[in-house]
Amino acid sequence: MKMGRSFTCDGIAYELRKTVGGGGSGDVWLADADGQCWAVKILKVRGDQRRAERFDREASFQSGCGHDHIAPVVGRGVHEERPFYIMPFYPESLRDVIDRGQTDVETLLDYVQQIADALQFAHARGIAHRDVKPENVLINGASATLADFGIAHFADSTLTAASELIGNRDYRAPEQRRGQDARNVGQEADVYALGLIVNECFTREIPAGSSYRLIESSYPSLSYLDPIVASMLAQVPGNRPAVADFLTEIRFSRAMRMKEIGGIVEQFRLNDDGAHDGVDDIDAVFEQAGEDVWYAIRLIATKTPDEIRRYNGNWHMRLGYNADALLLNLCIQSRLFELCQRKFYYESNVYARDDLYTSLDPTSDPRHGFLYDQARTLVREHPLPRAHDLSGRILKTFASCADYHCEELLADARQIVSEVRENLLGAPILWIVKYLAMNVPSITGVGDVADHIQIDWGRSDTFANNSDNPELFLQPHYAMDPEAVLNSLTESWNVSVKKTGDEWWSVMFRSPGEYQRFRKHCLARATPQSLFEADVKDILRDVTVAGGITRITLNSSFDVCNTLAKVLGLRDI
């Protein structure tokens, strides 16, 4: 067919305007009929029976399925010995949306769910699309529509050849890239491609290899998507979730996020004492604060202190927050106990050499009593409920130290009180979270952290004009597949690797010499006194030796995907 040519279908005359796309099986034309635009897909090659049958299958399915998010075929026929079908014209594709990068988060989430809805519908009928990519997702306003079932595999079809190369190179699943028998490439490949698209929608990068940019790094409030995407990108097809499971997970997580953020915002409004007079857009402040605090709660609940240390404390610094008296006093008491305990352990080392200290004697020595009273007063100024109270342990360890050490402790304690207030009052939300995670081992035991954080209106009254720092991580943060990291380990070292739990792996070195060489290699990779050296020593700490075998135990998210990956040269240090 040529531009300007006309043809008739079901009594309606269509005039071809221009080509707007195409693929291996056909060209897509923009056509006009009675002033309305339509898309006409025309089979490229005459006389190819296999392609003609595929084309007919595609048109039959799309004309009869009636799904809101699968492109409908409104007419079909043959013109000049070439089959064609007609469907509505869509002004753009998801590729255009991603490349433009201006679509709001909620609309992108809607698109993702709509694509998944379409795939679930097809999968339930035994159909695997096998060419899911942004170019095949057509967009019209708030609606996303899946199109081009040209290389789809239908349940009763024998049209796929074993050696057939199917799917776009960038969105092929591992089994497609490996040249697996194309007849065995099924719905799991659609799940893999959908996982790539979900990540790309929010990062504007197609995940490649075992390390890729996390959605969390661009949209922290969507961090719940990262583990979902990771499961969809599993190397083994059988380990990927069904599309129905993906939909259940994303709908639940999305609804819970909105519900929880809404609850936090409502609590801020209920606690509002009017101290924000003069703030131009109070609703924007409350909405931002709701997302910030929701994210802070998630970090505290799901990340280790070492993981939290990698976050940028000045993220979203346009808003300031205050920790309440419970968090302030819990942090102060935790640090005071750690201070006294450290001094107690220091003195204990001397006792092992029979060089004894004289402990504080508050009842008999007035000067000792004065020192003890100062410590007791300091602790009482920062009270805690009984469930969290460390005052008894603080005073016990304090009184067990020598008098001149107690004088040092009091000076340091006053500095600690000042430092805690400086870090937990008028600070960005992640600054507060990092400080609490580093200094309060029992932070997860305080209940809902949102109940203990308030907006600092002294800083936030100039919210709109405050400088900001949008970078979530101190350094670029990428996801890694723990299995890929551990496969690299087994290729380089004489080890056996076994998964022992959802987040834990056992690595067994088959000889003492092999472990010692590995240990030496790890330490050589780390700069002395650096944070990375501390991380390396952590993975070498939990060691068990039996029968000439040395075992270390590693967790997936940090030990394997961060520290071990750096040791093996898979990530930059």
User: What is the spatial order of strands in the sheet that 92-93 belongs to?
Assistant: 92-93, 137-140, 143-146
Residue 452 phi/psi, 5-degree rounding, is: -120, 15
Measured distance CA(473)–CA(214) in Å, rounded: 11
Nearest to 268 by CA among 459, 455, 460: 455
CA angle (414, 419, 425) in 5-degree steps: 125
Structure tokens at 567: 């040791």
Q: Which helix (H) or strand (E) holds 259?
A: helix 243-270
Nearest to 159 by CA among 299, 73, 57, 68: 57
- Tokens 């996303």 appear where? 144
Structure tokens at 507: 């690595």
CA angle (482, 483, 487) in 5-degree steps: 120
User: What is the spatial order of strands in the sheet that 495-499 belongs to?
Assistant: 495-499, 504-509, 549-555, 543-546
Residue 94 phi/psi, 5-degree rounding, is: -65, -25
Alpha carbon 250 to its chain's center? 13
- Residue 435 CB burial class (10 angstroms; 0-12, 13-18, ≥19): buried
Asked whether 265 and 289 are in contact (CB, 8 A), the reply is yes
User: What is the spatial order of strands in the sheet that 82-88 belongs to?
Assistant: 6-9, 12-22, 26-33, 36-43, 82-88, 75-79
Rounding to the nearest 10 degrees, give the CA dihedral for residues 124, 128, 131, 135. -20
- Residue 201 CB burial class (10 angstroms; 0-12, 13-18, ≥19): buried
Residue 71 is classified by DSSP as: P
Q: Binding site: which residues?
A: 41
CB under 8 Å to 450, separation ≥6 — which residues? Answer: 264, 267, 293, 294, 297
Q: Binding site for ATP: which residues?
A: 41
Measured distance CA(58)–CA(56) in Å, rounded: 5
Nearest to 457 by CA among 297, 220, 271: 271
Measured distance CA(250)–CA(170) in Å, rounded: 24
